[in-house]
A and B are shown apart, each in its own frame.
Chain A
Amino acid sequence: MIGLRLYLAQRISAMLMAPLVLGHIATMIYAVQNGLSAAEILERTQGSFWWGAFYGLFVVAVSIHAAIGLRAIVCETFSLTARWLDLFTWTTGFLLLLLGGRAVAAVVL
């Protein structure tokens, strides 16, 4: 039960995620290769608008993309009605947003 809007939302969030994933991987390699401690990482991220924007956008894109992708799987596996599917999609999206937002806040604020 994927219509035009959900399709576009999933594709656009995927386009956003592609460079963000590369940036995230590059950041991880940099942090590990340079042996940064947790304190040193937090020193760089806390209070940083750009790290907050980078991972905040990442979390938003993931929440949208994953919620729609899981909707398709759930639809085809359990044959739910459109109403239950909508509920599942919104709940999943908000849950991912909440969990991801908490993680971003923890390293940025």
Chain B
Amino acid sequence: MDQAVEALDVKVWRGNAKGGRYRSYEVPAQQSQTVLDVVTWIQQNAEPTLTYRFACRVGMCGSCAMMVNGEPRWTCRTHVKKVLEGRHLEIAPLRNLPVIKDLATDMAAFFDKWTGAEGVFHPTATRADAIAPISPEEPARVLANEAIECINCAVCYAACDTVTANPDYLGPAALNRAWTLQNDERDGAHSKRLRAISRGGGCFNCHSHQSCMTYCPNELNPTASIAGLKRLASTSFFKGGRDR
């Protein structure tokens, strides 16, 4: 950030499901300042009714994602100096999700798709059984570990043009979750999950644009996970595991 910048020109989208518009605010620039700090400053000093969502402030809970200068970002870990254009900052609610109010979106569709992709763990043992020994070096576990650190921030979902064009598409986060569970040997619903992700809105709709990978704040690669699901489902089909 330019040291001479003393005040940021911040445009924040204000409105609800029916519509809205950008409003401008002058926010004091700080040497070390995140986008979430900026939003919080506006709410505490200029616009008490500004609605937004956050919790942990350290990049773990995945609740503060917003569009910043047109790109989806986790705002608590996005330094203003990395995204500032001159002295301008434009903050909007996440793309591809309906707005509730201001910067808070309705995440219901996002999590419905998680369950639609059978993103739920189906245990094969009870608490009375011994803990299953899983070696971190096992090939399937290595694949699962590469994709496991998703915090459900919906940044990938907002970045995905296929979600924009096809609202039935399950999206990168749900499919990435399905991929981790397909590689979890303790899970007992692999066939059921393959059926779930092979339906009309499933993994085969992905065009591999790789926006999910580009924008994932945890540097995961959902595109690779989706490609893995395509391979798994196709292989299963030819082995006679399932037929549609």
Contacts of A6 in B (CB 8 A): 204
Contacts of A106 in B (CB 8 A): none
Question: Are B198 and A4 closer than 8 Å at their CB atoms?
Answer: yes
Is A72's CB within 8 Å of the partner chain B? yes
* 18 further A-B pairs in the complex, CB-CB below 8 A; given A4-B202, A4-B234, A7-B230: A1-B166, A1-B201, A2-B200, A2-B205, A3-B199, A4-B198, A4-B204, A4-B237, A4-B242, A4-B244, A6-B204, A7-B204, A7-B234, A8-B237, A11-B234, A75-B165, A75-B166, A76-B165
Q: How many residues on the B side are at the interface (Cβ–Cβ under 8 A)?
A: 18
Contacts of B162 in A (CB 8 A): 76
> Can you list 26 A-B contacts with CB-CB less than 8 angstroms, sorted by A residue number?
A1-B166, A1-B200, A1-B201, A1-B205, A2-B205, A3-B199, A3-B200, A3-B202, A3-B204, A3-B244, A4-B202, A4-B233, A4-B234, A4-B237, A4-B242, A6-B204, A7-B234, A8-B234, A8-B237, A11-B234, A72-B205, A75-B165, A75-B166, A76-B165, A77-B165, A82-B200
- Return the chain B residue nearest A77 by Cβ: B165
Task: Give chain A's interface residue range (CB within 8 Å of chain B).
Answer: 10 to 19
Report how far A2 CA is from B165 CA in the complex, Å. 13
Question: Are A5 and B244 closer than 8 Å at their CB atoms?
Answer: yes
- Return the chain B residue nearest A72 by Cβ: B205
- Return the chain B residue nearest A11 by Cβ: B234
Contacts of A4 in B (CB 8 A): 198, 202, 204, 233-234, 237, 242, 244
CB distance from B192 to the nearest CB of A (A): 14
CB distance from A14 to the nearest CB of B (A): 13
